[in-house]
Structure 1
Amino acid sequence: MSAFTGTGGLVRLALRRDRILLPVWTVIFLLTASSTASSTKSLYPTVKDRVELASSTNDNTSLVAIYGRVYDTTSLGGATLLKLMILGSIMAAILSIIIVVRHTRTEEESGRLELVGSTAIGRRAPLTAALVIMVATNLVIGLFAALGLVGAGLSAGGSFASGLAWASVGIAFGAIAAVVAQLTETGRAAIGYSSAVLGGFFLVRAIGDTSSEDGPRWLSWLSPFGWAQQFRPFAGDRWWVALIALAFAAVAAAGAYVLVARRDLGAGILPDRPGRATASASLSGPLGLAWRLNRGVVIGWTIAAFVGGLLFGGIASNVGDLAGSSQSRDFITKLGGASGLTDAFLGTELGFVGVFSSILGVSVAMRMRTEETTGRAEPVLATAVSRLRWASGFLTVALAGIVLILLAVGLGAGLTFGGAQHDVGGQVGRLLGAALVQIPAAWVIVSIVVLAFGFVPRFVVAGWAFLVAFLLLGELGPAFDLPQGVMDVSPFAHTPRLPGAEMTYTPIIWLLVVALGLGAVGLYGFRRRDITS
């Protein structure tokens, strides 16, 4: 029996398990690509409109840091990819991380891989199957995204270059996740560290893109996101850039195979530190337990949010450079602003961070299901700890983690933007308030997870589907001029777009009521149902 024996069977098993996840993501890419192209065609119908849009974007540091440069200022495809290239790359990267970790580290953590491995399964078969599924998925979504662009009227060459760019980014991050999965001992840690690498590569690309001609622009070539942009779809179609991404992925995958052979099943190259012989007082209750299980992730995300806030605040002072362009002013406003270009930029980015903070909340809330299925919850619930106390501990950490992230990003943005405006005290208070109004909408997403956990725990992963749907509505809905009723499906559509907009308390109160109601119903359902494994 070779080390790859059983790979085909594991591939079929993975496809069976992901029979809903993969088609849904494929459809999302198809619809996002086609609708973005169609909307851009109506928003910027003439070459003059597109030149003005692209030129003003390339001249603005803040927009280049977030969306990258437009290399062909005249093409409809270049205008279409202004925001779509980075968004599609991030989506492909996240999907690849989920696929690889789900079918490697998570399977080991749950004990299922040990049962499967007791049959005729080679040591490298699980990792190989995960990589095969990941690569095939990225090629499929890249193909369908390209077909969506072609169907909207864009040229075939640029469209397929765009699809290959997204697929290349996804494959690169899938290989990174394969390495990280060998280093950690839990699936959550693997996803968390892989996401941290994703954020680091995004920052490296942003620094490279915003550097002067004499500066370190070469940094963009060190990031998979930079490679995606260097495909230059509709502006030369550099197909050879795919070789860089594929070579990187091959080296990373080879490293993952080496690490697989050097560790025991269920263990990580970087094992967890052994705990003390006696527990501290903080572990005397379910809240302390929930915090201990999630503190590393919460602290890491809070630090990342603070650094991100410093970046947003630092580049916000440059947004005013767009004041002379009516098309660019309209573009920024469509991206979510309420009044004033600077406030529009800050409001848009803080709104994005609100959605971003929901990822932590959903992850912590879903940890309840992991504790249940792995059998760790049952011993705790066999003591004097009630179900409501146990679940409330995780729910408290999830909700508080969201608050910490938004506090950190508001503080960071206020410090740098206030320093540029010589009004640190005033801007810190203003941007802290603008960040904190995102809390109720993020809490609604967590409450959706709690509702699913209480009644249909097997569908608790639907929290990710809702999160992606709300992200797409918030990011693309205003630019597409979607009906307000459609955009109102997202809780973030009801959040006041501070700073700049008028503060209204009615939607905040209703969002809190919805979050409280859904969460209470979910906890009631958990109290009534059986514990499953």
Structure 2
Amino acid sequence: MSGFGVLLRQRARRDRWQVPLWVVGTALLASSTIVGVSDSYGTEQDRVALLATASANPVIMLFRGLPSGAGEGAFALFLIFPFLAMLAAFMSTFLAVRHTRAEEESGRAELVGATTAGRVVPLLATLVHGFLANLALGVLTALALMASGLPTTGSLVAGLGAGAVGVSYLGVGLLAGQLMRTARGANSLAVWLLLLGYLVAGIGNALGTPSTDLQRITSSWLTWTSPFGWGENSRPFADDAVWPLLLCLVFGLGLAGVSAAVQASRDLGESLVPGRRGSATAGSWAGGPTALVWRLTRGSILGWCLGGLLSGVLATSLAGVLAGAASQLPSVQAILDAITSEGSIAQGAVAIFFLMVGVLASCCAVQTICHARHDESSGTAEAVLSTAVGRVRWLAAHTVVGFAGVVAVVVSAVAGAALGLALSGGDWSLMGDVLVSGAGQVAAASVFLVLTALVFVLAPRLTVALGWTLVLLGTVLGLFGPLFGFPRWLVDLAPISLAPSVGAGGAEVNGLWWLVLVVAAGGVASLSLMRRRELVPAG
């Protein structure tokens, strides 16, 4: 394979910052989870109570892993394995698209293809590079678990299981790069397939069969259609089964083989899914940069709005489920108290689900700013900036549309909450809590918007990796920090946990003014610094 070694080294050098961020972050998450479980669920009685609650309430299973017993290691992996695998999957899909479809868009793939390397060898180099990145993630995560005092075999199965799921989505990312005409489209397709796989595994576990003691669940057939389900059914620290992980590897390598076949047969720059043709004319409303950004990002914003709508429906329609669980098991009430301010179970459900809405809105904001980076690296931004549109106005357009997307996601969630109350016949006084929580999450998501914009200005090549990493860290700290016993100051670093909420005493401002200050300072700083920044090509 002529040039294979050179291309592999080039990929490793190009990802010398992105891949270590994902790898080290995943290992730190695994290590901190074990510490949190030891502090918060130190006794087997506590772990048994929570597992019984999860097994008896399918909703909880949508957001956790597969129960495999009340041992400390198995319990910790029930809480965190899907998120370790998700980090590996995100790393892999972004890596795959960055070194395939994005290379074609930039024109570099044509130059490499003109050498003796040809067109397939670069894809093989990307496959090996992604496999090694997932191997490093798996090994370092396993070492972090072993350093926490957990058994070696279970630690290896857990770490390599997360890496194996990553290999599956490496194949997904490679195939998405062949299907879609742009890197943005390929990334969007891969991310939605990733989220679908996570949801399918959760639903499959929720439909599974619990054991008589409610400590273990046998997954339904639906779980076995998702790489997340294969990874979870390795059951680290319980069964330590390796064979489900082989399914992940076969699936990922199989998709990579299909991608190589498509790569060899299609024309350079083309895709299996044809690009959408633009209109020959545009209305007067579409004459500025803001309208252009809106037109290019409205599809992805709509997708995040649908997620917000679903979360809003769950926030108000499932309060009864949580109330019933809390009345039977004090541990559930303790969990709600850890995440939310003291108040009713219904208020706690609203607070929890609107934290998720804040995460979705943050993702929408980050993706919009990442669109600016894509346009810059692909060269389309240069055409826009050659007109009367300046750099500051161009970035401001993406920021305005990103903020509009944040508001749209939260408004969709509020509408979903009203729909949930109508369907369940709930207490309409909850809409006041919904409005307060929603407004707070607008401020929280706006923090991620301006921080990603600031990264785009200061370190443009890290925009995608660091922007999504900030959201993932904020999600882990805000949603799971209290459950894992993290210090309050650490949890408060997550904007979604500082957002205003409603407790027993009414609306609580929490860290609203800090959020507003960060948004104002970050917005001004990013726009001011953009004035002097030169365009940075892909690299």
Q: Is TM-score (shorter-chain normalized) higher than 0.5?
A: yes
Aligned identity (percent) is: 33
Residue 479 of structure 1 aligns to a residue in which SS?
Answer: coil
Matches within 5 A, 1:99-118: 99-118=95-114
Q: Distance in 2 between matches of 1:155 and 1:341?
A: 38
Moved over 6 A (4+): none
Moved more, 341-350 or 163-172: 341-350
Q: 1:325 to 1:390 in 2, by over 3 A?
A: same
Matches within 5 A, 1:247-262: 247-262=250-265
Counterpart position of 1:275: 278
Counterpart position of 2:9: 12
Q: 1:481 to 1:117 in 2, by over 3 A?
A: same
Matches within 5 A, 1:190-339: 190-211=186-207, 213=209, 217-311=220-314, 313-323=316-326, 324-336=328-340, 338-339=342-343
Q: Distance in 1 between matches of 2:231 and 2:510?
A: 42
Amino acid aligned to 2:83: L
Does structure 2 retain, via aligned residues, the 8 Å contact 1:361–1:402? yes
Q: Distance in 1 between matches of 2:268 and 2:293?
A: 26
Counterpart position of 2:51: 54
How far 1:225 moved relative to its partner? Answer: 1.7
Q: Distance in 2 between matches of 1:351 and 1:289?
A: 31
How far 1:412 moved relative to its partner? Answer: 2.0
Counterpart position of 2:133: 137
Q: 1:22 to 1:432 in 2, by over 3 A?
A: same
Q: 1:130 to 1:340 in 2, by over 3 A?
A: farther
Moved more, 165-174 or 38-47: 38-47
Q: Distance in 1 between matches of 2:198 and 2:314?
A: 12
Q: 2:178 aligns with which of 182, 191, 197?
A: 182
Amino acid aligned to 1:523: L
How far 1:518 moved relative to its partner? Answer: 1.2
Matches within 5 A, 1:482-497: 482-497=486-501
Deviations 1:199-236, CA, capped at 9 Å, x for gaps: 22222222222226599921111111221221112222
Residue 460 of structure 1 aligns to a residue in which SS?
Answer: helix
Please list every run of 5 or more consecutive structure 1 residues that lacks an aligned counterpart in the other structure.
Answer: none
Q: Distance in 1 between matches of 2:43 and 2:485?
A: 19
Q: Distance in 2 between matches of 1:503 and 1:375?
A: 47
Q: 1:428 to 1:176 in 2, by over 3 A?
A: farther
Q: 1:321 to 1:415 in 2, by over 3 A?
A: same
Q: Distance in 1 between matches of 2:134 and 2:377?
A: 30
Q: Distance in 2 between matches of 1:428 and 1:13?
A: 54
Counterpart position of 2:475: 471
Amino acid aligned to 2:10: L
Matches within 5 A, 1:118-129: 118-129=114-125
Counterpart position of 2:151: 155
Does structure 1 retain, via aligned residues, the 8 Å contact 2:319–2:345? no
Q: Distance in 2 between matches of 1:243 and 1:413?
A: 41
Q: 1:6 to 1:340 in 2, by over 3 A?
A: farther
Q: 2:520 aligns with which of 513, 516, 533?
A: 516
Counterpart position of 2:409: 405
Q: Distance in 1 between matches of 2:509 and 2:335?
A: 28
Matches within 5 A, 1:79-90: 79-90=75-86
How far 1:70 moved relative to its partner? Answer: 1.4
Residue 438 of structure 1 aligns to a residue in which SS?
Answer: helix
Residue 234 of structure 1 aligns to a residue in which SS?
Answer: coil
Residue 236 of structure 1 aligns to a residue in which SS?
Answer: coil
Does structure 1 retain, via aligned residues, the 8 Å contact 2:447–2:518? yes
Amino acid aligned to 2:244: V
Moved more, 248-257 or 478-487: 478-487
Counterpart position of 1:362: 366
**Superposition CA RMSD, Å:** 2.5
How far 1:335 moved relative to its partner? Answer: 4.2
Deviations 1:355-376, CA, capped at 9 Å, x for gaps: 2321221121132233233332
Q: Distance in 2 between matches of 1:267 and 1:336?
A: 50
Does structure 2 retain, via aligned residues, the 8 Å contact 1:60–1:321? no
Q: Distance in 1 between matches of 2:254 and 2:319?
A: 38
Moved more, 290-299 or 345-354: 345-354
Residue 2 of structure 2 aligns to a residue in which SS?
Answer: coil
Q: Distance in 1 between matches of 2:102 and 2:35?
A: 40
Counterpart position of 1:391: 395
Does structure 2 retain, via aligned residues, the 8 Å contact 1:411–1:431? no
Counterpart position of 1:38: 35
Residue 503 of structure 1 aligns to a residue in which SS?
Answer: strand
How far 1:198 moved relative to its partner? Answer: 1.6
Q: 1:209 to 1:452 in 2, by over 3 A?
A: closer
Does structure 2 retain, via aligned residues, the 8 Å contact 1:453–1:526? no
Residue 244 of structure 1 aligns to a residue in which SS?
Answer: helix
Residue 354 of structure 2 aligns to a residue in which SS?
Answer: helix
